[in-house]
Structure 1
Amino acid sequence: MRAGNRSLKSRLRNIRCLLMDVDGVLTDGKLHFTGNGDEFKSFDVQDGHGIAMAQRAGLRIGFVSGRPSQATTRRAADLGVAIVLQAATNKMELVEQVKTRHGYRDEELGFIGDELVDLPVLRRVGLAVAVRNAMPEVKRAAHYVTRRAGGDGAVREVIEMILKAQKSWDKVIAKYLVILTCAWLPVAAAAASNEMATGYIEKFEVPETDENGVLRWKLKGDRAQLRMDGTMDLQNARAEFYQSNKVAMVLSAPQCLLDRVKKRAATDGPVTLENPDMTVTGIGAVWDQATGSVILKSNVQVEVRSGGVALPSFGEKKP
């Protein structure tokens, strides 16, 4: 591998756009043809999930291939990849066009390659990656060589490294799980019963981190049921608020309604707020996930234990 003045972690943190070759990187490099002469390729599912998560985190993804292929075009369309450059006789020239169009600096670009034709790009970008099955010369030019081979999760490996270095991995995982859950729930429910209009999932847990990757809260519960209006009915919900990676306050309610669009949860039933020094109970509450504030509606009662201090961010709603 190539030595450099900057650490691998610092290179990963700077990446805003990750470009990659297709044959030998997104695939195992083998070419398959039908009896009619049509070409088809085998892509890795884990790579696909990784690309989806990267784009959800704001990382731009691009395919740069020396060979034109309908399979590559289809794969890019399925994943929502907008930068698709094929039949590239000069990959460096195309990468320069991407830089100019989007205003990237060299250090903000990453490239994953396997063949000699990728060398000019690898020697220029801020993060040069060679897959495990790459040519020896390519490996020597790289800042990092993947543990996994092309077409077998190598792209996913690199994407995870970038997102973790940028402290966005936990947040992406939380959002990805929520999206997958909400997409799956109606399908699972319809399969279970034609009369069910909504679906549900049991024993859920969703964390939320800040922009630095620090855990803010975890939302747990026994059951989450998706309603027709897109909101979720949560049973035995429990929100744990964190400070310095420790639980500072717990909000619990037998039932509440979560609005994922407005980023708030509300209940008209009993609710309890608790920290090591104090317990607050009431009827009805609204939790704003964006600000972290909790507002109790009525019948607020406070029990302060010896040496107790005020709970952070709660108040009774005024009539």
Structure 2
Amino acid sequence: MLGYARSLFINIILLKMQIGNAFLEKILPHVDKLYAISNAVSPSSSVDVNLKLFDILGRLALEGLWLYWYYTRLEAIDKDHKVTQEILQKMQRYRVSLKQLITNNPILFSPYKDEQAIDINLSAFFFALDLTSHDDLHRWLQFMVEHIHFLFYTDSCYPCNLHTYHELLDHPRSTEGYKEEVTKGSILYPMIATYAALLGFDDVYEEIQKIKSKFLEHCNFQIWYPDETSERHFYKYSDNHGGTLSHVGVDQPQDIFLEEIFKECYESEHFNQLSAIQYQTWPIILTACRHYSFPIPLHFLSGFRADTK
């Protein structure tokens, strides 16, 4: 009975992957053309393009991560099997398409919403799993933080905590205290700093430090961790769960920064006790994070932390 239930569950996952692939197959043929996807949005404002492009970015990265998960399972059984190689080729195609999407749609250097960190994180994780893509990830994050610095300097569309469409259309405003109000907290900058510190992108880490000291001294940089209630609430988001490390110190040297943020990962077993982790279906966690706009647990990057020690 247990074997039947597990087989049924895997078939549901494969169906989900087929549906995601069917959607992306309408988009992937056009990602190699400059501004093609941006123009296809038929926007009334840059906000339309920004929201839709980051949505596509996250969808593509998440489907790529599901393919990575499926490939590693097949590889363990028969690396040279035809199906295994087909999944590998599709995963590589998704990764190339993600790079082309970013290169040909420069608005992906400029997140308007801080919570777009979730889609950026999914994409960065997908790139980070492939050593040959680290340079591409470096360039993307480098351009992004430099552009964000410029947006703050010129008081343009810097990342904010606003959520509604009409608020984003009016962003930014020049009223007193506005910038401090819409940038109270951030998961974006500590996430970028984490990849920079883990993968040796020193210039990116230093740029995050500059943004913090020049424009965001008031901003609470945060990292989220699961807690003992997360298993009960993660998959349906029936209630708030988890805990937050506040005022993450990106002003510190990279090794101290990493020690601070990964300490909770090593001291708590709550992440490893999630059923999706125990049953080795970890992309379900990423899917839930994206669906409910919840930060991606830092634990997914712990393997890169081990590589830097």
TM-score, reference length from structure 1 = 0.26
Higher relative CO (CA 8 A, sep ≥ 6), structure 1 or 2? 2
TM-score, reference length from structure 2 = 0.27
More strand by share: 1
**Structure showing greater Rg:** 1
More helix by share: 2
